[in-house]
């Protein structure tokens, strides 16, 4: 009986981690690992390659249309992208285990102007060791992930991290 309860509890924990909480529980963690290459056709119909973001501070955000906290953070991501794209910061969205048509509607609804790639099978999620959406990875210009943010990120929090990275990278 105890084993059955433990297995049910573990299953609930595993299920619950697929869509993470709001910015109230922002989980900013320093990391140091290589940025996996994201390449291929975007949800918007263009192509993306590592050369598009190489040498830039890069924000990679995993999101899904079925994820409530992702909906909460999307306007902040677009706002920060608009503010930082002329400062050498690149954004890439990764639509995680989702329907491509729904993702296209999401991009139209929120007016997302940075590229998003579809990760229906979860291969990129595996490459990033994703634990759930939303999750944001921030890599420096050398291609090393330096920060991981679990849960919905707000514009102020993301801007603060980017300002710190851009200041550190300046001569």
- pLDDT per position as a tens digit, 73-114: 999 999 999 999 999 999 999 999 999 899 999 999 999 999
Q: Residue 3: inside a domain, yes or no?
A: no
The total of structural domains in the chain comes to 1
Q: At what angle do helices 100-110 and 68-84 cross, to 10 degrees?
A: 50
Give the model's pLDDT for residue 141: 96
Each residue's pLDDT tens digit, 29-85: 999 999 999 999 999 999 999 999 999 999 999 999 999 999 999 999 999 999 999
pLDDT confidence band for 19 (50 / 70 / 90): low
Determine the pLDDT at residue 53. 95
The answer to whether residue 10 is domain-embedded is no
Residues in the chain, overall count = 171
pTM reported for the whole predicted model: 0.84
Is residue 95 one of the residues assigned to a domain? yes
Residue 15 in domain: no
Question: What's the confidence (pLDDT) of residue 168?
Answer: 76
Residues 117/96, Cβ–Cβ less than 8 Å: no
Residue of 47 and 22 predicted with greater confidence: 47
pLDDT at 151 over 70: yes
**CATH assignment of the domain containing 144:** 3.40.30.10
DSSP per-residue letters across the chain:
-HHHHHHHHHHHHHHHTTB---GGG-EEEEEEEEPPP--EEBTTS-EE-GGGTTTSEEEEEEE-TT-HHHHHHHHHHHHHHHHHGGGTEEEEEEEES--HHHHHHHHHHHT--S-EEEETT-HHHHHHT--SBSEEEEE-TTSEEEEEEESPPPHHHHHHHHHHHHHHH--
Residue 114 resides in a domain: yes
2 is a domain residue? no
Is it the case that residue 15 has pLDDT exceeding 60? no
């Amino acid at each position: 009986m105890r084993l059955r309860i433990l297995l049910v509890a573990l299953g609930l924990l595993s299920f619950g981690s697929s869509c993470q909480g709001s910015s109230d529980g922002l989980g900013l963690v320093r990391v140091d690992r290589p940025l996996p290459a994201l390449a291929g056709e975007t949800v918007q119909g263009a192509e993306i390659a590592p050369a598009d973001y190489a040498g830039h501070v890069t924000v990679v955000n995993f999101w899904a249309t079925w994820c409530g906290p992702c909906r909460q953070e999307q306007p902040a991501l677009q706002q920060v992208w608009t503010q930082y794209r002329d400062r050498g910061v690149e954004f890439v969205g990764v639509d995680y285990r989702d329907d491509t048509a729904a993702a296209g509607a999401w991009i139209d609804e929120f007016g997302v102007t940075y590229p998003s790639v579809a990760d229906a099978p979860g291969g990129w999620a595996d490459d990033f060791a994703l634990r759930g959406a939303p999750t944001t990875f921030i890599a420096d210009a050398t291609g090393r992930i330096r920060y991981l943010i679990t849960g919905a990120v707000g514009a102020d929090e993301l801007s603060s991290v980017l300002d710190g990275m851009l200041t550190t990278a300046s001569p």
